[in-house]
A and B are shown apart, each in its own frame.
Chain A
Amino acid sequence: MNFDPRFSGRKFTSVGTRPIRPDGIDKVTGRARYGADFNMAGQLVGRVLRSPHAHARIVKIDISKAEKLAGVKAVVTAADLPDLTDGDAAMYDVLDNCMARTKALYDGHAVAAVAAIDARTARQALKLIEIEYELLPHVTDVDEAAKHTAPLINDAIFTEGLEEKPVKPSNVTKRSQFGHGDVHQGFGHADFIVERSFKTEQTHQGYIEPHACVANFSSDGTADLWVCTQGHFVYRQHCAQLLGMEASKLRVTSSEIGGGFGGKTHVWAEPVALALSRKAGRPVKLVMTRDEVFRASGPTSATSIDVKIGARKDGTITAAEATLRYSCGPYAGSWAEIGAMTAFACYKLDNVKTVGYEVLVNRPKTAAYRAPSAPMAAFAVESAVDELAKKIGMDPVDFRIRNAAQEGTRSSYGPVYGPIGIGPTLEAVKSHPHMKAPLGKNQGRGMACGFWFNFGGQTCTDLNIGMDGSVSLAVGTVDVGGSRASLSLVAAEELGIDYSQVKAIVADTSSLGYNDMTDGSRGTFSSSMATISAARNAIKILRERAAQMWDIAVDDVVWEKGHAIAKGEKHGNLGKLSLKEIAVESGKTGGPIAGHSELVADGAGVSFATHICDIEVDPETGAARVIRYTVVQDAGKAVHPTYVEGQYQGGAAQGIGWALNEEYIYGKDGRLQNAGFLDYRIPVCSDLPMIDTQILEIPNPNHPYGVRGVGETSIVPPLAAIANAVSNAAGVRMTHIPMSPPRILAAIEAEREWSK
Chain B
Amino acid sequence: MAGVAVSTTINGDAVEYLCQPDETLLDVLRDRLGLTGAKEGCGTGDCGACSIILDDRLVCSCLVLGAEAEGRRVETIEGMAHGDTLHPLQQKFLEHAALQCGICTPGFLIAAKDLLAKNPDPTEEEIRFGLAGNLCRCTGYDKIVRAVQDAAIVMKGA
- Chain A positions near chain B (C-beta within 8 angstroms): 18, 20-21, 23-25, 27-34, 36-37, 119-120, 205-210, 256-261, 287, 289-290, 480-482, 642-643, 645-647, 649-650, 652-654, 676-678, 682-688, 690-691
| Other-chain contact of A30, B46, B78, B125 (Cβ < 8 Å) | B78
Give the residues in chain B near A257, CB-CB below 8 Å: 101
Contacts of B106 in A (CB 8 A): 28, 30
Contact of A649 among B46, B127, B139 (CB under 8 A): B139
Q: Give A289 to B27 CA distance when docked, in angstroms.
A: 13
- B103 to chain A: closest residue by CB: A258
- Jot down 11 A-B pairs with beta carbons below 8 A, ordered by A: A21-B94, A23-B102, A27-B102, A27-B105, A29-B80, A30-B36, A260-B101, A652-B140, A676-B44, A678-B46, A688-B140
Q: B125 contacts which chain A residues (CB < 8 A)?
A: 686
B25 at the interface (CB under 8 A from A): no
**Which B residues touch A646, using CB under 8 A?**
97, 100, 138-140, 143
Instruction: Output the residue of B81, B139, B144 with the most chain A CB within 10 A.
Output: B139
Residues of chain A lying within 8 A (CB to CB) of residue B137: 205-208, 259, 261, 650, 653-654, 682
Asked whether B8 is an interface residue with its Cβ less than 8 Å from the other chain, the reply is no
The one of B39, B99, B133 in contact with A24, judged by C-beta atoms closer than 8 angstroms, is B99
Given A643-B97, A650-B100, A677-B47, the answer on whether A29 and B41 have CB atoms closer than 8 Å is no
In the A-B complex, the 10 residue pairs with the closest CB atoms: A30-B37, A258-B103, A653-B140, A27-B102, A481-B100, A649-B140, A30-B77, A677-B46, A28-B90, A37-B36
Contact B41 A210 (CB under 8 A): yes
The interface residues of chain B, by DSSP majority, are classed as loop
Is there contact, CB below 8 Å, between B139 and A208? no
Most chain A CB atoms below 10 A, which of B39, B105, B128, B138: B138
Contacts A259-B101, A646-B100, A678-B46 known; A691 to B142 CB distance under 8 Å? yes
**A21–B144 alpha-carbon span in the complex (Å):** 16
How far does the Cβ of A641 sit from chain B's closest Cβ, in whole Å? 10
**B31-53: which have CB < 8 Å to A?**
35-44, 46-47, 49
Whether A31 pairs with B37 at a CB distance below 8 angstroms is yes
- Rounded to whole angstroms, the CA-CA distance of A690 and B36 in the bound complex is 31
Contact A32 B102 (CB under 8 A): yes
Q: Which of A25, A480, A653 contacts B101 (CB 8 A)?
A: A480
Our pick among B38, B44, B103, B109 for the contact of A290 (Cβ within 8 Å) is B44
- Residue of A24, A28, A210, A646 most packed against chain B (CB within 10 A): A28
- Given A20-B94, A33-B36, A258-B39, also A686-B132 (CB < 8 A): yes
Q: Interface residue tally of chain B, by bracket?
A: 35 or more
Contact between A290 and B39, CB atoms less than 8 A apart: no
Residue in chain A with minimal CB distance to B46: A677
- How distant is the Cα of A120 from the Cα of B1 in the complex, in angstroms? 11
B1, B47, B101, B128: residue with the most chain A Cβ atoms closer than 10 Å:
B101
Is B55 part of the contact surface with A, judged by Cβ < 8 Å?
Answer: no
Query: Contacts A677-B42, A685-B127, A685-B141 hold; do A29 and B36 have CB atoms under 8 A apart?
Result: no
- Taking CB atoms, residues of chain B closer than 8 Å to A678 are 44, 46
Contacts of B141 in A (CB 8 A): 653, 683-685, 688
B78–A481 touching, CB < 8 Å: no
B131 close to chain A: CB less than 8 A: yes
Question: How far is it, in angstroms, between the C-alpha of A653 and the C-alpha of B97 when the chains are bound?
Answer: 16
Question: Which residue of A is nearest B144, CB measured?
Answer: A685
Task: State the Cβ distance, A642 to closest chain B Cβ, in Å.
Answer: 4
Assuming the contacts A642-B97, A646-B139, A676-B46, asked whether A258 and B102 have C-beta atoms less than 8 A apart, the reply is: yes
Known: A209-B39, A677-B44. 17 other contacts (CB 8 A): A21-B94, A24-B99, A29-B37, A30-B77, A120-B20, A206-B137, A208-B39, A208-B47, A258-B102, A287-B40, A481-B101, A481-B138, A642-B96, A646-B143, A649-B142, A682-B137, A691-B142
Minimum C-beta distance from B129 to chain A (A): 5
Q: Which B residue sits closest to A31, measured CB to CB? A: B37
| Chain A, Cβ-Cβ closest to B148 | A685
Whether a CB of chain A sits under 8 angstroms from the CB of B145 is yes
Please tell me if the beta carbons of A209 and B101 are within 8 angstroms of each other in the complex: yes
Q: Which of these, A27, A684, A685, contacts B99 with CB under 8 Å?
A: A27
For the complex, give the distance between the alpha carbons of A287 and B27 in Å.
13
Q: Which residue of A lies closest to B92 (CB)?
A: A28
Interface centre among A24, A207, A691 (most CB of B within 10 A): A24
Closest to B20 in A: A120
Q: Report if A208-B135 is in contact (Cβ < 8 Å); known contacts: A27-B105, A677-B46.
A: yes
Residue B10 at the A interface, CB < 8 A? no
By beta carbon, the residue of chain B nearest A482 is B100
In the bound complex, how far is the Cα of B105 from the Cα of A754, in angstroms? 50
> CB of B54 within 8 A of chain A?
no
A295 to chain B minimum Cβ distance, whole angstroms, is 14
Which of A208, A682, A683 is the one whose CB lies under 8 Å from B103? A208
Interface status of B61 (Cβ within 8 A of chain A): no
CB distance from B95 to the nearest CB of A (A): 7
Contacts of B20 in A (CB 8 A): 120
Q: In whole angstroms, how far apart are the Cα atoms of A248 and B96 in the complex?
A: 41
Q: How far is the CA of A210 from the CA of B104 in the complex (A)?
A: 12
Quote the shortest CB–CB distance from A607 to chain B (angstroms): 18
Contacts of B43 in A (CB 8 A): 289-290
CA distance A21 to B143 in the complex (A): 15
B-chain residues with CB within 8 Å of residue A33 when the two chains form the complex: 36
Contact across chains for B109 and A28 when beta carbons are under 8 A apart: yes
In the docked arrangement, what's the CA distance between A718 and B122, Å? Answer: 30
Q: Cβ of A259 and Cβ of B138 under 8 Å apart?
A: yes
B139–A653 touching, CB < 8 Å:
yes
Q: Smallest CB–CB gap between A185 and chain B, Å?
A: 44
